[in-house]
Amino acid sequence: MKEGLEQTLVLIKPDALRNSLTGYVLSLLSEYHTGLVFAGVKIVHVTTMLAAEHYAEHRGKIFYASLIDYITGAIHYPTAPEKQRVVAIIYQGPEAVTKLRAIAGPTNPHQARDQKPGCIRALGTVAPLKNTEGKVVGERMDNLIHASATDEEAQREVKLWFRPSDIPPAMHAYTTRESGDHFYFKNGRLLSTHEQGSVLIAAPGDIVWESDLSALEEIRSSRPSSIPLDSIVAKYLINR
């Protein structure tokens, strides 16, 4: 991270949009109240691919499937796919991660109400998760916003949701590099030349996150990559 450019990723989730809490949440997160500045904002229709990469650490857990349904908007807008979206925001400034976590509050809305009345997640809810026999096997936490947990997570998440070109260059916190090659994506595979139905990820001259470009080069030459291909391409497929 470049000095003085601490960043964090915030997602205003579908339950906040559904309950018309977006304006309220944004007021609490205003530059005036937080001392942080907006570095990037976009409305994102969350694909399963993006959701799966964002919540990769929860894969296999009892609540995983409902978490994916939740963040993709399938729970709060089951019959209105055009409304299935989140507001993704990068906040930048001193202690960005800590400040946003404090305003968001504890993950579980019940605990948020007990421990920190007034925090954003105190306005959330917890829904029971049932198995096919109707037995409660876990819970889904509809907690209105996501805020990166650590600086390391913030870096991973900012690069997962945003391309360098979504952020003013002077606000880039992470290293970028100019691509010298074409990279295309089709059916889970990386291609060097265009094929019918492939999507252009990067072309010569495009500014790409350095870590993504290194990973693309590794994948292209069949070397092990530290970043899964889906994690790189998901942001290039946003809103396509």
Catalytic positions are 146
Q: Comparing C-alpha atoms, which of 37, 57, 47, 20 is closest to residue 99?
A: 37
Q: Residue 221 corresponds to which tokens in the numbers above?
A: 């030459």
Identify residues 166-205 at the interface with ligand AMP (CB under 6 A).
none
The span from the CA of 3 to the CA of 106, in Å, is: 28
Which residue lies nearer to ligand AMP by CB, 36 or 147? 147
Does 141 sit near ligand AMP (CB under 6 A)? yes
Contact flag: residue 139 with ligand AMP (CB under 6 A): yes
Q: Which of positions 6-45 make contact with ligand AMP (CB under 6 A)?
A: none
Binding region for ligand AMP (CB under 6 A) out of 77-85, 94-102, 137-145, 211-219: 137-145
Q: Residues 84, 92, 143, 179: which binds ligand AMP (CB under 6 A)? A: 143
- Specify the 3-state DSSP secondary structure of 141: strand
Residue with Cβ nearer ligand AMP (84 or 143): 143
> Which of residues 70 and 209 has its CB atom nearest to ligand AMP in the complex?
70
Which residue in this structure is represented by tokens 């080069």? 217
* 160 binds ligand AMP, rule: CB under 6 A: no
Nearer to ligand AMP, 154 or 216 (CB): 154
Residue 21 near residue 123, CB atoms below 8 Å: yes
Of 68 and 208, the one with the shorter C-beta distance to ligand AMP is: 68
From 133-141, 164-172, 177-185, 186-194, span contacting ligand AMP (CB under 6 A): 133-141
Minimum gap (Å) between residue 141 Cβ and ligand AMP? 4
Contact between 63 and ligand AMP by CB under 6 A: the answer reads: yes
- For the bound state, the minimum distance from the C-beta of residue 147 to ligand AMP, rounded and expressed in Å, comes to 8
- Half-sphere exposure of residue 221: CA atoms within 13 angstroms, side-chain side: 6
Give the DSSP H or E segment for 232.
helix 229-233
List, in sequence order, every residue forming a beta bridge with 43; answer none if it has no partner: 87
Q: Determine, following the binding rule CB under 6 A, whether residue 77 of this chain makes contact with ligand AMP.
A: no
Secondary structure (3-state) at 221:
coil
Q: Are 210 and 232 in contact (CB under 8 A)?
A: no
* Cα 70 → chain centroid: 13
- Smallest gap from Cβ 145 to ligand AMP, in A, equals 8
Footprint (CB under 6 A) of ligand AMP, residues 94-123: 107
- Per the CB < 8 A criterion, the answer to whether 174 and 160 are in contact is no
Residues 6+ away with beta carbon under 8 Å from 148? 8, 9, 10, 97, 100, 154, 157, 158
Residues of this chain that bind ligand AMP (CB under 6 A):
58, 63, 67, 107, 138-141, 143, 146, 149
